[in-house]
């Protein structure tokens, strides 16, 4: 038998479960999906099935490959109809709902400013840029170009390696620490 404490914990856990965002979103999705069923049914029955009937002479494939075996009727066409309806409905959903929604969402995201880099990444970027400026006074584009070209002068090559190698190592350590173990 449960004590009052156990019941309180049970109801508290249930309350936390029910008020989690995922459960609420799932419930809303199921309700919207049920309501959306009417739209999909109208699309299939009002547009897709009449097009199939116009092309093939009947609105479905139920009678295709139908035969009787020991008094039982085998209707392969019913399965074909279900597969065709699924594919047509999925295509209609994708092209009429998902694709426009994704385009709208991409357009909305394009108008948002880029997220700020994390503090450690911003600090490392600033350190890298300052070190480049010390080695290659001028613009960062010129520094990038100079680093990309092979350095013939051994002193400059040594100096560049002394400054940039620790940055490369620090960057690889950061990448390794960010990667899942």
Give yes or no: residues 85 and 141 share one domain: no
Give yes or no: residues 136 and 100 share one domain: no
pTM of the shown model? 0.43
C-alpha distances (whole Å) from 49 to each of 54, 57, 68 are 9, 11, 26
- Is the Cβ–Cβ distance between 165 and 115 less than 8 Å? no
Count of domains observed in the chain: 2
Domain range enclosing 104:
19-110
Three-state DSSP class for residue 132: helix
Q: What is the pLDDT of residue 19?
A: 72
- Is the Cβ–Cβ distance between 132 and 143 less than 8 Å? yes
* pLDDT band with cut points at 50, 70 and 90 for residue 1: very low
Residue 74: left (phi > 0), alpha (psi -120 to 50), or beta?
A: beta
| Least confident among 88-92, 136-140, 145-149 | 145-149
| Least confident among 24-28, 101-105, 124-128 | 24-28
For 33-75, write each residue's pLDDT tens digit: 888 888 878 887 888 778 878 887 887 788 888 888 899 999 9
Give yes or no: residues 106 and 25 share one domain: yes
Cβ-in-10-Å burial (0-12, 13-18, 19+) of 43 comes to middle
Give yes or no: residues 146 and 170 share one domain: yes
Do the domain assignments include residue 42?
yes
Check which CATH number belongs to the domain holding 39 and give it. 1.10.1200.120
d(CA 146, CA 131): 14
């Amino acid at each position: 038998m449960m004590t009052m404490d156990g019941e309180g914990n049970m109801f508290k856990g249930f309350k936390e479960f029910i008020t989690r965002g995922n459960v609420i979103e799932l419930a809303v999705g199921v309700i919207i999906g049920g309501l959306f069923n009417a739209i999909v049914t109208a699309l299939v029955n009002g547009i897709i099935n009449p097009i199939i009937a116009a092309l093939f002479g009947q609105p479905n494939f139920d009678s295709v490959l139908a035969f009787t075996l020991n008094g039982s009727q085998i209707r392969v066409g019913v399965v074909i109809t279900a597969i065709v309806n699924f594919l047509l409905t999925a295509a209609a959903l994708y092209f009429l709902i998902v694709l426009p929604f994704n385009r709208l969402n991409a357009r909305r995201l394009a108008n948002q400013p880029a997220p700020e880099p994390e503090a450690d990444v911003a600090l490392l970027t600033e350190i890298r840029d300052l070190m480049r400026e010390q080695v290659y006074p001028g613009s960062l584009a010129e520094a990038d170009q100079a680093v990309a070209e092979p350095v013939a002068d051994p002193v400059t090559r040594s100096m560049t390696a002394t400054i940039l190698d620790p940055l490369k190592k620090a960057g690889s350590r950061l990448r390794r620490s960010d990667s899942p173990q």
